[in-house]
Structures are given as C-alpha cells and as structure tokens.
Copies of this chain bind each other. A is one copy, B any other.
Amino acid sequence: MANNLGLSIDRSSPVPLYHQVVQGIEAAIYSGVLEPGSRLDNEIDLAAQLNLSRPTMRKAMDELVRSGLLVRKRGVGTQVVSSQVRRPLELSSLYDDLTNNGKKPTTEVLSFSHVEADDATLATLQLPAGSKVYHFTRLRKVGGKPLALMENWVRDDISAMDEAMLSAEGLYSILRRGGVNFRLATQRIGAMTANDYQASMLDTSAGSALVTMERTAVDDTGRRVETGHHVYRADSYSFEMTLVQR
C-alpha cells in the first residue's frame, strides 16, 4: 500500500514524478518502514494509489532495481533486497569516517582561494562560464600522522567558506550545514607514486605508493556540489567494499 509507505507526490514540484517515487521508496527502505525482504504492491496498484501512470511507476522501480534496493521478477513481484549493498566507503567524508571510528582527525589548510573556475572544473561541476569556486588544499592527519592530501573545488553558491571552517570540521559537514543534501557521488580509485611535494606533506618518501581517489558529489537537486582529488598513503589506507551480484 503506497499510502502506508508514506509516499506522496507533489505535481507542482520541479522534481520529476518518477524521481519523487524513487526518493519516497528509498526513504521508506532506509527508515525501516519497508523492511528487507518485504514485498511491495504490484506496479499497477502502486501507480493507481499515487495517480501516476504505469510507465512512470516502472521508471521509478527500474531505478531502484538498478541502485540495488529492489529486486523484481516477472510473475512474482517486487521485493526489497535482503542483503543491502554494503559499502564501507559510503557517501561521506574522510573526516566523518575517521570521527565515527573513534579517531581524532586534524586538518591543516595548506591553501585556500575563491577563484574563477577553469574549464575542466566548469565541466565537472556543470557550471556556466565565469563561475567562481572555492579551491583549497588540505592535509588530513590522524594521531599526528599524515594520512591524506586533498584538493577540492566547491561551487560558491552554497555558503560562504573560509580556512577556519575547513580547519575545524569536515567539508561535508560544512556543506550539509549550508543546506546540501548529498545524493550520490561518482568516484574513481587508482594509484600513483608520490612526488616530492606529496611525499613531504605526507611524511613519506618520494616514489612511495599512494592511493588516489577522484570524486564528484551530487546533491538531491542534481547539482554537482564539489569535486576533489585525494591521495592517501597506501600503507595507511585502502578501500574495502562488498560487491553483490546483480
């Protein structure tokens, strides 16, 4: 029963109808209203309950299937996935993760500027030409030991930002307080060897292995909020994850 799931549709919203359904069902799953393993009403009934067409409802369902939250089978129905995709690497910041793991991270802001974005940044953040961004580099330490060197570009229309804020807390906390609801991020993990600068910042030797991560985060309105290039000491950092067969 859609109504029991607390789904609601706002036809005056700029958010597409199918996407409102996605968000509503996601919220129901994460809040526990829809429990793992539980079955949903069939798509025709769900559509009727929300006064939506079946193709619109199907588009929402397909997206939820693709994101691993639902599983569907012809003749059987739709079910909430029982073993959710667990990613130790969630859409969160390193600062959050370290703090949540009982460690005390510190941040040193190495550089900070509010500048006009270059073409690559404009493209990545989908900004119009001439836009300015916050561009900064930070060194993250844990227990006094350098762990990560991070360079980020953040669109400047969210909230003002300065070095003191960045020293005191994580970037994502700052952005959340500025009203950002992170929705997803694309990210690429690779490797490189440390150059002289990176080596000195991370208290390691030039040529040692670094894990690299490039990420672009998107909020719930579809805005590309920030993009970053991070490098981590390979001896102190790796990404762990569980993959589930689709």
Give me the interface of A with B, judged by CB distance under 8 Å.
30, 55, 66-67, 83, 86-87, 89-91, 181-193, 207-212, 234, 237-246
Contact = CB atoms under 8 A, between A and B. Distances in A.
Contacts of A89: 241, 243
Contacts of A193: 193, 207-209
Given A190-B211, A191-B192, A184 B242 contact: yes
B238 A188 contact: yes
* A interface secondary structure, majority: strand
Contact of A243 (B83, B90, B238, B244): B90
Contact of A189 (B186, B209, B211, B245): B211
A89 B89 CA distance: 13
Given A207-B207, A209-B209, A242 B186 contact: yes
Given A184-B83, A207-B207, A245 B91 contact: yes
User: How many monomers of this chain does the complex have?
Assistant: 2
A237 B190 CA distance: 7
Contacts of A245: 90-91, 181-184
Given A207-B207, A244-B91, A86 B188 contact: yes
Contacts of A207: 193, 207
Contact of A246 (B91, B189, B240, B246): B91
Contact of A209 (B183, B210, B238): B210
Contacts of A187: 240-243
What 8 pairs across the A-B complex have the smallest Cβ distances?
A191-B191, A190-B238, A191-B234, A191-B209, A191-B211, A91-B243, A189-B239, A193-B209
